[in-house]
Structure 1
Amino acid sequence: MVKRNIIIAAVVVVAVAGSAIVIQRNHSVQAENEKQITIGAIGSDAQIWQHIAKLPETKKANIIIKVKNFTDGVALNTATAEGKIDVNAFQSYAYYVAYNKSNAKTKLAMLGTTYLEPMGIYSDKYKKISDIPDGATIAIANNAANTARGLKLLAKAQLVTLKPGFGNLSGVNDIQDNPHHLKFKEIDDTTGPRVIKDNTVAAALIGNTIALEGKLNVLRDALLYEKIDQSTKDNINILATAQKNKNNKNFKKLVTLYHTKSAQKYISQQFSGTKIDVKKPITYLSE
């Protein structure tokens, strides 16, 4: 009887051990299938991806998203090109083109489109564009893509006239006529919400991501903001990665996750409709 009990106990131990091995193996397979992707983002984009990281759709896609906050776009693009960041979410197509033009040896690749949000002209001193006095100083971004974008908006406000052929990388030297004798102060565009409080600045051109950081709503607080249509497609935001990763299937899943109903419901509610969903093929931007 004792011998029989010993045999039964041994069988149980082997069975339990076998089960443990199977469980451990299943966990290993699951861990192997789940791919961790580090996303670099700035401001509200980081908040969006932190939310997407928790969605059931993300778990179902076998993806673990880790979000790293940045405050500087050039530093984030550089980290992405060097492989320190897998994918970044912060820049417009025009900003991306400008970066690649200046960094031919470390170019980035697009994975897909995300949203369009308007740039605005903001002032802490004036309520209308017409109130801005002659000779006033306007703060404008010190990077080529957002400088051009801001000048186009000033042209729509009829404050300046731009030269024929003004492009996405044009600057203040491409202003044809400045009837109000405006002066321009180049700033790190992430400082825009603080700069409008500067007594020496009449107004500032601020992108919506940065505006939201400063508790500004472009639809409510801007003196004027970009019209949202096909003419502003260069301002559509994208997901970008290093050139070598442009065909990475897991990275491309991020585009799909961004456009899910769950993600879009959160984005619409959280940002008061200022981030407009754009689900287009990347070829749409280069057409």
Structure 2
Amino acid sequence: MNKKPKKWLSLGVIIIIMLILSMLFVKSHSSNKSKTITVGSQATDTEVWKHIANSKVAKKYHVKIIVKDFTDSNSLNTALSNNDIQANAFQSYAFFTTYNKNNPKRKIFALGTTYIQPMGLYSTKYKSVKAISQNQTIAIGNDAASQSRGLKLLESAGLITLKKHDINDLLTPNDVIKNGKNLHIKSVISTTTPSLLHDRGIAAVAIDNNTAQAAKLNVFKNSIYYEKLDQNTRANVNVIATNEKHRNDSTYKKLVTIYHDPTIQSWIKKHYPGKMEIKKSISDLEK
């Protein structure tokens, strides 16, 4: 019997197997190659992303992150839509939706949520919201954003009821429709709010987290109430965004996974305890 056909058949099978293994190796090597993404950010968020960029977690997911610091919030989204950066992580969902509304031809796209910096209600006079008595004065910031957020905080705490409003509506004290304790709401300059904790005529003060941190106040330890993720506060949740070119790229979605890695979150909580992790889908914010 001629054994040459069997010999050539065996050799052919070996060659095919070697080719398949070679292709698998090349594919595996290619998939393990890190992809570079430039992430724009600002202030403390820049420090967070610098840490993430140098972390073992980023290497684990084969993502090379270059962090670019910005001082102007508006230029971050312009740079993103121009693809000067490929992602940014600095803005609230409200800021994100407002940008898209004003720039319909240069829209950006949210990849996922990161955190919220809760506004807190502080008091040296009362230890709980329920303890606040009738006819007391509560101070909130007087700029449009702080005033609206302060009012929504008071509503979440059960102290007042506001008229029906959309997520991005800016509210004023005139929008209070129920005030069971007859509270007097006083609008003051936002940066002065911590000093009012020593004012005997003020029962409680709504303080944004940046101002609170500057005054060495910890919203989780020192406030009598702070924002939770609900209908009033979801607009304040921060998001990671990208542009049209990368919106469906699976590598970019890894940025969200990396951010929420337990190791990364442990570092953030240690260095920036005011950043409360929010692990929600974008669809949850759109409801």
Same fold judged by TM-score > 0.5?
Answer: yes
Relative distance call for 1:206 and 1:264 in structure 2 (3 A) is same
Counterpart-to-counterpart distance in 1, 2:53 and 2:150: 33
Relative distance call for 1:135 and 1:276 in structure 2 (3 A) is closer
Counterpart-to-counterpart distance in 2, 1:133 and 1:85: 52
Counterpart-to-counterpart distance in 2, 1:185 and 1:81: 37
Q: Which sections of structure 1, spanning at least 5 residues, go unmatched? A: 1-28
Matched, 1:56 2:59: no
Relative distance call for 1:186 and 1:75 in structure 2 (3 A) is farther
Q: Secondary structure at the match of 2:140?
A: strand
Q: Secondary structure at the match of 1:138?
A: strand
Q: Secondary structure at the match of 1:118?
A: coil
Q: Secondary structure at the match of 2:100?
A: helix
Relative distance call for 1:113 and 1:157 in structure 2 (3 A) is closer
Offset, 1:152: 0.9
Residues 7-65 of structure 1 show CA distances to partners (whole Å, capped at 9, x for unaligned) of: xxxxxxxxxxxxxxxxxxxxxx99xx544333233433222212111112312434332
Could you tell me the TM-score, scaled by structure 1's length? 0.66
Residues 151-173 of structure 1 show CA distances to partners (whole Å, capped at 9, x for unaligned) of: 21022445543113454323215
Contact conserved, 1:39 with 1:89, CA < 8 A, in 2? yes
Q: Secondary structure at the match of 1:176?
A: strand
Residues 139-162 of structure 1 show CA distances to partners (whole Å, capped at 9, x for unaligned) of: 15544xx65433210224455431
Contact conserved, 1:119 with 1:218, CA < 8 A, in 2? yes
Offset, 1:283: 2.4
Counterpart-to-counterpart distance in 2, 1:61 and 1:93: 26
What residue is the counterpart of 1:138 in the other structure? 140
| Paired letter, 1:239 | I
Q: Which sections of structure 2, spanning at least 5 residues, go unmatched? A: 1-28
Matched, 1:182 2:185: yes
| Paired letter, 1:139 | G
Relative distance call for 1:97 and 1:132 in structure 2 (3 A) is farther
Counterpart-to-counterpart distance in 1, 2:144 and 2:170: 12
Counterpart-to-counterpart distance in 2, 1:263 and 1:150: 30
Offset, 1:226: 1.6
Could you tell me the TM-score, scaled by structure 2's length? 0.66
What residue is the counterpart of 1:265 in the other structure? 266
CA-atom RMSD, angstroms?
A: 3.9
Relative distance call for 1:97 and 1:224 in structure 2 (3 A) is same
Counterpart-to-counterpart distance in 1, 2:40 and 2:207: 21
Q: Secondary structure at the match of 1:106?
A: coil
Contact conserved, 1:80 with 1:241, CA < 8 A, in 2? yes
Contact conserved, 1:114 with 1:236, CA < 8 A, in 2? yes
What residue is the counterpart of 2:239 in the other structure? 238
Relative distance call for 1:56 and 1:141 in structure 2 (3 A) is farther
Counterpart-to-counterpart distance in 2, 1:89 and 1:209: 17
Counterpart-to-counterpart distance in 2, 1:71 and 1:197: 28
What residue is the counterpart of 2:14 in the other structure? none
Contact conserved, 1:114 with 1:279, CA < 8 A, in 2? yes
Counterpart-to-counterpart distance in 2, 1:42 and 1:221: 26
What residue is the counterpart of 2:23 in the other structure? none
For these two proteins, the number of residue pairs brought into alignment is 247
What residue is the counterpart of 1:95 in the other structure? 95
Offset, 1:280: 3.2
Contact conserved, 2:115 with 2:277, CA < 8 A, in 1? yes
